[in-house]
A and B are shown apart, each in its own frame.
Chain A
């Protein structure tokens, strides 16, 4: 401590020199070996470091690919539907006549067809998906029967939609047709009614599996408190479980709806493909129609006029926005719900 800075520097300098001299004096072969080993290790770690940065870059590039794909989809849809947006304007969406032969395009019949099939399917499916959620989430959470039902419900989503469509065309449509004869409407068989029935079955798993996991997450102290106050099981479900999971179950229904809006093949086979709107609701519901997805599937290949083609793509653009927004809202609700 008492030493001045100049003293220490004077004392250390010669020491450093001797160390340097000692290495210089050492055998030449040993020194070379040491530097060689050092270099090799350095090279190796340089290679590793290079690979590390390359790997990190590859990861970034792969996730940027996803951004490019989505941006590309959006850009392509907008660019390709621009002629129709420009020449038909916003009125395109509620134009009631779709007549490609005379160059008249109105998307209203398809909007109605899509909304009608999707919401009918949703209304039919909601009681079932709630029942499955409550049964698997509350009444029977473990054991082989619960597992069997859970796996069976998941299989409903696994069957390709074209197979549902094919089966329904040959089995369900004749049944619907005979029912239509009984109630006295034109017996088409194919149409909104058949399509909705098949759609209803197809979209159940999406809401049901989400609902099941959410109901299982209800804290048991809440339920036990209600039981301790003398509530029956029905009352616990009605006034504890369902209110607690309300927003999550709603998100599940949104996901189902998104699925129903975009579903193509089963509906294309079953809807009957008519672009005219019938006059009465009964005829609309039991008669043939068209949805946005089915009209694209049916007419895209034969669209020869540029405005015709781009009118179809504009339908795809609308479909894209609607399904994406519904899905994102549903996902947002789920993440917010599961984080609480």
Chain B
């Protein structure tokens, strides 16, 4: 009897050891990737790198100013579109649970969350690029479609967690419905909505596939949203697969900046959710 308990206890200990080992060993790839990108990228980044466009093929120097500006413009346009639509649709879902429209909208949000990014890219190609030509605006539309489900779900889940007495109190004072939502409910759930927005920006800023056939890419600095525009993930893709070492260096630098930006946004989200104790 004693011997069997001994075996069972050892089995339990061994299992725990295995679980702990597997759980922690999988952080190694992430740490290796992060350190490698930092090691390769940090040497590339300087003022010249941030303010110049890429040098012609085979030449040294140059920077990624066009991609930085392009990413900011494209993601900025997507945010301007996706944030209001996402928040309002999220409010609808949390205010009218159980209606037919809410059910189908929720279904569509789930569908959009699962759509591969490349499919969004080819669909927007037929919507906008084929009639109007490659443009930064079409890239923004593609990214908006990727961003919407995250903002909607974050808004919906945050607002559903608020106590209903809050809304009832405001309504009983005779405050009109739209002011109740905009002045009472949304400010109360502001932190949750904000972290959803930041998370969605962090998600789309690294998306390459929707931009391949929409914003295309551009070797020169461009501010025109109706013309092709470079972006950080796209410049990494083009230069990573090119045969020139100088272009690889540019891509390492661009990866470093993109990675730092994504990590920063994720940490901000973590701080917000921890301070207001939100579950996303």
Contact = CB atoms under 8 A, between A and B. Distances in A.
B116 to A, nearest CB: 3
Contact of A166 (B19, B110, B240): B240
Given A139-B19, A152-B30, A155-B30, A262 B117 contact: yes
A62 B19 CA distance: 46
A64 B203 CA distance: 24
Given A55-B177, A62-B92, A326-B114, A76 B105 contact: no
Interface in A76-90: 76-77, 80
Nearest to B181: A55
A79 to B, nearest CB: 8
Candidate in B11, B89, B123 with the most chain A CB atoms within 10 angstroms: B123
B111 A131 contact: no
Given A62-B89, A77-B123, A127-B22, A163 B33 contact: yes
A77 B124 CA distance: 11
B115 A162 contact: no
A232 B9 contact: yes
A65 B85 contact: yes
Given A73-B120, A324-B115, A128 B26 contact: yes
Contacts of A104: none
A237 B15 contact: yes
Interface in A97-136: 127-128, 131-132, 134-136
B222 interface: no
Interface string B93-121: 10110000110110111111111111110
A186 interface: no
B236 A162 contact: yes
B127 interface: yes
A265 B11 contact: no
Contacts of B109: 66
B101 A64 contact: yes
B237 A162 contact: yes
B244 interface: no
B276 interface: no
Contact of A131 (B18, B93, B95, B263): B18
A232 B12 contact: yes
A265 B126 contact: no
Nearest to B102: A63
Contacts of A263: 116
Interface string B208-219: 110011000000
B225 interface: no
Interface in B71-97: 85, 88-89, 91-93, 95-96
A69 B145 contact: yes
Contacts, number: 240
B231 to A, nearest CB: 11
Interface in A308-340: 312-313, 316, 319-320, 323-324, 326-328, 331
A296 B122 contact: yes
A67 interface: yes
A161 B206 contact: yes
B165 interface: no
A297 interface: yes
B255 interface: yes
A264 B209 CA distance: 7
A135 to B, nearest CB: 4
A55 B178 contact: yes
A263 to B, nearest CB: 8
A335 to B, nearest CB: 10
A253 interface: no
Given A149-B24, A323-B115, A327-B110, A51 B19 contact: no
B176 interface: yes
5 contacts: A52-B176, A59-B92, A131-B22, A159-B259, A316-B118
Interface of B: 8-9, 11-12, 15-16, 18-27, 29-30, 32-34, 36-37, 85, 88-89, 91-93, 95-96, 101-102, 104-105, 107-120, 122-123, 125-127, 145, 148, 152, 176-178, 181, 202-203, 205-209, 212-213, 233, 236-237, 240-241, 248, 251, 255, 258-259, 262-263, 266, 270
Given A60-B101, A63-B89, A77-B123, 14 more contacts: A54-B178, A56-B178, A59-B91, A62-B88, A63-B92, A66-B148, A135-B19, A139-B19, A158-B202, A159-B262, A233-B12, A301-B212, A312-B122, A323-B114
Interface of A: 48-49, 51-52, 54-56, 58-60, 62-67, 69-70, 72-73, 76-77, 80, 127-128, 131-132, 134-136, 139, 149, 151-156, 158-167, 169-171, 201, 204, 232-235, 237, 258, 261-265, 269, 293, 296-297, 300-301, 312-313, 316, 319-320, 323-324, 326-328, 331
